[in-house]
Amino acid sequence: MSTLRERRSKLIWNMTWKAEYSVPVDTLNRHLWKTIRENNATHIGPCTVESCLNHPKSELYDLETDP
């Protein structure tokens, strides 16, 4: 991952964006993830399960509206 940050914005470049995001080993055994797998859920709140496990190639954030 590489980042560029200015006063108002931050750009993240995920160099290994196709690799699944690593989560602590015990996370997948927690009640939340077990329920997600059992129910074939597609979302965790407003986010998709896919976006929780896989990051996009680049992410741009407006630090004034989304600190």
pLDDT in tens, 24-47: 666 777 888 888 888 999 998 888
| Structural domain contains residue 67 | no
Residue type, 47: C
Give me the number of domains the chain comprises.
1
Instruction: Give the pLDDT band of residue 62 (cuts 50, 70, 90).
Output: very high
- Which spans in 1-67 are helix H? 31-39, 49-53
Is 22's pLDDT higher than 70? no
Q: For residue 52, what are the domain limits?
A: 2-62
Q: Which residues contact 44 (CB under 8 A, 6 or more apart)?
A: 32, 36, 52
Whether 60 and 9 have beta carbons less than 8 Å apart is answered as yes
pLDDT at 21 over 80: no
* 40-56 average pLDDT score: 85
User: How many other C-beta atoms can be found within 10 angstroms of the C-beta atom of residue 65?
Assistant: 7
At residue 60 the predicted structure's pLDDT band, cuts being 50, 70 and 90, is: very high
